[in-house]
Structure 1
Amino acid sequence: MVQALARAGCEVTLVLKAPVRTGRLVDPLRGLPGVTVRSPHAEGLLESDAPMQPRAAAVTLARIDAEQPFDLAVVRGRRLAGKLCHTGLAGRLWTYLTDVPQSAGQFDNAAKAELRRIADASRLLLCQTEELRGFLEAAVPATAGKCVLFPPVVVLPDGLEPRPAGTPDGRALRLVYTGKFAPRWNTYEMCALPRLLGGRGVDAELHMVGDKIHDDPDDPGYADRMRTALETGQGVVWHGGHPRAEAMRLTAGCDVGLSWRHPEMDASLELSTKLLECGMLGVPVVLNRTPMHERLFGADYPLFAATETDVLDALTLIGKNPEVFTVAVERCRAAAAGFGLDAAAERLAGYLAETFPEPAEQVRAAAAAYRPGARRLRVGVAGHDLKFFTRLLDYLRSRPDMEVRVDHWAALKAHDADRSRELVEWADVVICEWCGPNALWYAKNKRAGQRLVVRLHRFELYAPWPKQLDIDAVDQVVCVSPHYTDLTREMTGWPAEKVVTVPNWVDDRQLDRPKLAGARHHLGIIGIAPSRKRLDLAVDVLEELRRDDPRFTLFVKSKLPWEYWWIWQKDEEREHYEKLFRRIRRSPLLAGGVVFDSYGRDVASWLRRIGFVLSTSDDESFHLAPAEGMASGAVPALLPWPGSDTIYDRRWIHDDPSAMAASIATTVALGRWESDAAEAREQVRAAYGLDEVCRQWTDLLARPPARTEAPAAQ
């Protein structure tokens, strides 16, 4: 991590948890440009020579931060991150999460609460694998949008060369295992492999590297059996414990690595660094077949194994077939290629650029126009519900040329008037999220020359507030689509130049995740209430598709209509859904074809299984779901609701459910799904990607201040 951050352009301070006993690990880091190593023990910051516990570490890090505040703090470990949540480092944490419960059964309320606090206090949550990221987002909704990938980083020691190319002709097949010896790691069973392979005509020897033998309370005799097998097993060479560099040198001298584990570990959400080290060394690995490993090595990788017989079959195969051995080597090398130091530095550089945007000259010029000599533009945000503004707010707060304060209203019509007046006195620009009572109040109370920007959604357009708004006090009204911009101008009569379009943002980087197997036959719809969302039309599409191919499935991610009291109290809404659910239950074609998933913020993870995202509504202001699907690598499929063609390419819009079903079936049958998905992804990035929408908001806020007089404050 230190090396990758340094390569990404950071000045890095490494704070050591324990006293330095040997310089083997730390000395190379001290010599890196821009890296400072701090040892609190040597500096007398601690009273004891014992390694710091989380509470002491949190106090020490806060003390070091106070000397010269850091821009970000990378921490590993749940307990330490939990302590740092209550310090001044909150908000600057990049928390590397590995020690989290890895099954739903282990996630008790205390674990969820702790991880929620950590998520709230962290700018980013670094996850080793896509599987861990998806699990966290589903279990702890607060982590959604903050989880990013940071896989293990593998760096070969200086002077160590990968295993020479070629097969082990004319000598014994050398197997190698490095690590701890424990029951679930199958290390005792490994010691029998040379003997069993000999019975199949394969000459082999097993090299075991490590000295940590697990004491198993459930099997008191395990440690003795394990040690005996290491010391006396036929064909077993026990090297004992070695530093990492020497262990890797021993690995490079062997032919095949062993990472065959008990099936209980197949559910692990972490990726073994040993696998990647072997790959970089050109040493193929025998390992369990899991979705994660299939994605990394390919479903047809020849060395997947679940049982001892599988392991023997795989080793016999490569021992007698040089071409299969070569294929395994190439797969492992390719799998490890993306886990080197350069790849890690490039990944971190992207996160840094997103977290710390470059200042813009036009923003500084705008700030100076309000207050000569000012270095930062003061932006106020006011509203009762900021769920559609979250990432924009994060972005504005991260800009070094803007200062942001929020006036969060307790409800649509309830706020702290004194706090709102403080924002009026302070801000250069005020953004009202929703054209509701907040916009009416700020239009009446804004300062002369202060800019007021109001973002209007479909909901308010048909409410009374736009008619009550003093449009002369508003500089810009922002709508999210050209259709609603035109409709707003038509319905309100406001000056055309004051009503502008800035589209909804799509967090394209968060949504861009590898698809799961079978996605091309999976349709998705997000949000089915009220009835004008027209789930019934999506079911029409599914029914037509399943007449020819029962693999097509519709996944519905939504609250159910009876969870909205204001919908379920209407007779016509209840009748619509009761009729629809009866149809789904009774139709032979739909049996098992509609899956209802829980509403939640884990949309990015959910979309991994979806190949087509449907939009079958009667009307929408923008409808973000197809755009999110496009960013995820799914193909959008829309019915022609008013204004849909001003937001999405006409090729994705179909006249009716039959035409939509026919297009989906043809796309899959002709093998066009991947190319269409790639085209859709590029379209959404260019038009609605987070970077592009943030740029448009930056330009909007950096416009010169208003010169007209505001009405007197009331």
Structure 2
Amino acid sequence: MLRPHLSDRKLAAVARWAAERMARVKNPVLSERLLGVAGHRIQDPRTKADVLMDAAEARFDLGYVPRHLTQACAAELACADEHHKAGRRSAAAASAARALILSFHRVAHLDGLTSPLAADPARFTAPLRRSRALRALRAPRGRRTPAAVPPDGRPTRLLFVHGGNDNFLPVILKRYRSHPDLEVRVLNTAQDASTAPLAKGLGRMIASGLGARNDYAEQTEAALRPQLDWADVVFVEWCTAAAAFLTLVDPGTTRVVVRLHSFEAFSYWPHLVDFSRVDDLVFVSEHLRDLAVETLPHLRESGTPALHVLNNAVELTDFALPKSADARFTLGLVGAGQVAKDPRWALEVLRILRQSDKRYRLHLVGGGLNATSSPALHRYHQAFTAELDPLVAEGAVRVLGHTDDVPGALTDVGTVLSTSVREGWPLSIMEGAASGAVPVVRDWPFFAGKTHGARSLFPSDWVVATPAEAAQRILTVNESQETWLGAGREASEHAISAWDWQSVCTAFDQLLLPRTPAIPGQRAVRTSAE
């Protein structure tokens, strides 16, 4: 047992022995306990942070979530706070960046079926809220002048900004590019010659936000000022690097709108956004808005943007095609390239169904898992493949891979599944429902039991808690050809009336066009998590 009088040097030696062992074994229970005791008792902040961070990174390298993740992050942020207190802004930024990268490691939130942030947002983000350096980073820098209505006598100018992912913009751009009273530009910060060298680099963005003296702030101002001076309204797609980069600069009288989809809530980028320079923050669902308000200290402080929930812009009417003769007994899972989609859940549903009726089969549409991206994903892929291969061999599963004709692929699907542990706004279910496939939606575990989630986004009879419930819903709906066709028809009518672009576009007009009556927004409320 460790004794209180051991020196930091000896405690660090014990901790490093424990960390080395943790990097080699699957269940390092004793090593984690030793590390926790040693890390707690080491007095020197830098030594404490080094041993805890090294141990956490070693566990991540094996594809496991470290038991002391929050403790390691807090130790590194303590070093950042000391640097900031002493006026060492660049050093503070480097430590803060290291802490954020560790906290939001993909193994913790993206490559598994659980997330410590989703499980307890207040506890997980506590070190971020307490940190002196991060409080300084998120202190509102504001703008010298408020956003203004554009002058009369010329078209309103809309600037759409993204960092390389414009998947959800084409329908919106099509509408506004054809509008006679608008001028539209698109800025891809990852490819534009002026912004591409600048719109990346977590450490230098933090340093700039903390007021470090270097050329980066001036270069960013020079790259963005012409764009901001031209635009009346800026719409930033995805709350990632482009949003953090753009809010490093005072937008002047230009109104700034940022849209957060889903995965960003499990990343560090929103923690770098200066929300005092954002007028409107858009979410694709209520449960994502709720998580963001719980997770982001920015949204519980003064000067927060108006919060809106708007469905994605998609055209669904093209999906309403006649079903093939075999569709009734065919399940479809569209897009299973992430662990969060949990395709093993779909295989379990299929196995239960085939106990009753061997006609049931599953189509897997879209790219598969990239087993080489992380050890955690590799383990899931191995388990999935072990279950999948026998079902493929007996003809129960067809792996269709990527297709550019999703409406065509869905003509063979009678039941569309959402098997994910988390979703923001699951496009595949909206498209599948619009096609007339019967939707079966797992009550996504990240949001199950909360005020908003799958059960608030979808009709209640679409949502199930277990594979057994999913199978029972399918068997009940599929009692006859008539009941199946009727359920699919109802799903299609609901999807198109609720989520098709023609039902959503007016809300986007209200959000983006200054002379259109504004869409009502909400302000984030303070919570006990503060």
TM-score by length of 1: 0.44
**CA distance, structure 1, for counterparts of residue 409 and residue 422 of structure 2:** 24
Q: 2:196 aligns with which of 414, 438, 442?
A: 414
**CA distance, structure 1, for counterparts of residue 376 and residue 394 of structure 2:** 26
Q: Deviations over 1:97-122 (max 9, x none)?
A: xxxxxxxxxxxxxxxxxxxxxxxxxx
Cross-structure match for 2:261:
457
Cross-structure match for 2:160:
381
Q: 1:401 aligns with which of 153, 177, 181?
A: 181
2:494 maps to 1:683: yes
Give the C-alpha shift of residue 392 in structure 1. 1.4
Verify the 8 A CA contact 1:532 1:618 in the aligned structure 2: yes
**CA distance, structure 2, for counterparts of residue 614 and residue 580 of structure 1:** 17
Q: 1:618 to 1:486 in 2, by over 3 A?
A: same
Give the C-alpha shift of residue 575 in structure 1. 2.4
Cross-structure match for 1:194:
none
Mark the runs of 5 or more structure 2 residues left unpaired by the alignment.
1-146, 199-219, 448-452, 519-530
2:345 maps to 1:503: no
Among the aligned pairs, what percent are the same residue? 31
Q: 2:454 aligns with which of 641, 644, 651?
A: 644
**CA distance, structure 2, for counterparts of residue 438 and residue 656 of structure 1:** 39
**CA distance, structure 2, for counterparts of residue 396 and residue 591 of structure 1:** 50
2:267 maps to 1:485: no
Q: 1:553 to 1:411 in 2, by over 3 A?
A: farther
Q: 1:451 to 1:666 in 2, by over 3 A?
A: same
Q: Deviations over 1:652-685 (max 9, x none)?
A: 0012111111111121123311111111112212
Verify the 8 A CA contact 2:352 2:468 in the aligned structure 1: yes
**CA distance, structure 2, for counterparts of residue 554 and residue 646 of structure 1:** 27
Give the C-alpha shift of residue 651 in structure 1. 0.7
Q: 2:343 aligns with which of 495, 515, 535?
A: 535
Q: 1:395 to 1:585 in 2, by over 3 A?
A: same
CA RMSD between the two structures: 2.5
Give the C-alpha shift of residue 593 in structure 1. 0.9
**CA distance, structure 2, for counterparts of residue 403 and residue 459 of structure 1:** 31
Q: Deviations over 1:248-282 (max 9, x none)?
A: xxxxxxxxxxxxxxxxxxxxxxxxxxxxxxxxxxx
2:503 maps to 1:668: no
Amino acid paired to 1:676: A
Amino acid paired to 2:460: R
Give the C-alpha shift of residue 482 in structure 1. 0.4
Amino acid paired to 2:440: A
> SS at 2:464's partner residue?
coil
Q: Deviations over 1:103-158 (max 9, x none)?
A: xxxxxxxxxxxxxxxxxxxxxxxxxxxxxxxxxxxxxxxxxxxxxxxxxxxxxxxx
Q: 1:586 aligns with which of 382, 390, 394?
A: 390
Q: 1:448 aligns with which of 252, 257, 260?
A: 252
Verify the 8 A CA contact 2:158 2:182 in the aligned structure 1: yes
Give the C-alpha shift of residue 637 in structure 1. 0.3
Cross-structure match for 1:468:
272
Cross-structure match for 1:522:
330
Amino acid paired to 1:404: V
> SS at 1:370's partner residue?
coil
Cross-structure match for 2:320:
512
Q: Deviations over 1:9-62 (max 9, x none)?
A: xxxxxxxxxxxxxxxxxxxxxxxxxxxxxxxxxxxxxxxxxxxxxxxxxxxxxx
**CA distance, structure 2, for counterparts of residue 527 and residue 368 of structure 1:** 42
Give the C-alpha shift of residue 368 in structure 1. 10
Q: 1:397 to 1:501 in 2, by over 3 A?
A: same
Q: 1:497 to 1:650 in 2, by over 3 A?
A: farther
TM-score by length of 2: 0.59
Q: 1:633 to 1:401 in 2, by over 3 A?
A: farther
Alignment coverage as a number of residue pairs:
334
Q: 1:701 aligns with which of 508, 512, 522?
A: 512
**CA distance, structure 2, for counterparts of residue 506 and residue 587 of structure 1:** 34
> SS at 1:444's partner residue?
coil
Give the C-alpha shift of residue 480 in structure 1. 0.4
Q: 1:462 to 1:368 in 2, by over 3 A?
A: closer
Verify the 8 A CA contact 1:506 1:627 in the aligned structure 2: no
Verify the 8 A CA contact 2:276 2:305 in the aligned structure 1: no
Verify the 8 A CA contact 1:407 1:419 in the aligned structure 2: no
Amino acid paired to 1:578: Q
Verify the 8 A CA contact 2:233 2:257 in the aligned structure 1: yes
Verify the 8 A CA contact 2:148 2:253 in the aligned structure 1: no
> SS at 1:568's partner residue?
coil
Cross-structure match for 1:560:
368
Indicate the structure (1 or 2) with the bigger Cα radius of gyration: 1
**CA distance, structure 1, for counterparts of residue 396 and residue 196 of structure 2:** 45
Cross-structure match for 1:291:
none
Give the C-alpha shift of residue 573 in structure 1. 2.1
More helix by percentage = 2
Verify the 8 A CA contact 1:584 1:591 in the aligned structure 2: no
> How do residues 546-625 of structure 1 correspond to structure 2 at under 5 angstroms?
546-562=354-370, 567-586=371-390, 591-625=394-428
Verify the 8 A CA contact 1:615 1:626 in the aligned structure 2: yes
**CA distance, structure 1, for counterparts of residue 254 and residue 353 of structure 2:** 56
2:463 maps to 1:653: yes
> SS at 2:362's partner residue?
strand
**CA distance, structure 2, for counterparts of residue 688 and residue 435 of structure 1:** 22
**CA distance, structure 2, for counterparts of residue 453 and residue 408 of structure 1:** 16
Q: 1:703 to 1:647 in 2, by over 3 A?
A: farther
Give the C-alpha shift of residue 415 in structure 1. 5.7
Cross-structure match for 2:172:
392
Higher relative contact order (CA 8 A, sep 6+): 2
Cross-structure match for 1:115:
none
Amino acid paired to 1:537: W
Verify the 8 A CA contact 2:228 2:252 in the aligned structure 1: no
> SS at 2:184's partner residue?
strand
**CA distance, structure 2, for counterparts of residue 436 and residue 517 of structure 1:** 44
**CA distance, structure 1, for counterparts of residue 373 and residue 512 of structure 2:** 42
Verify the 8 A CA contact 1:424 1:445 in the aligned structure 2: no
> SS at 2:239's partner residue?
coil
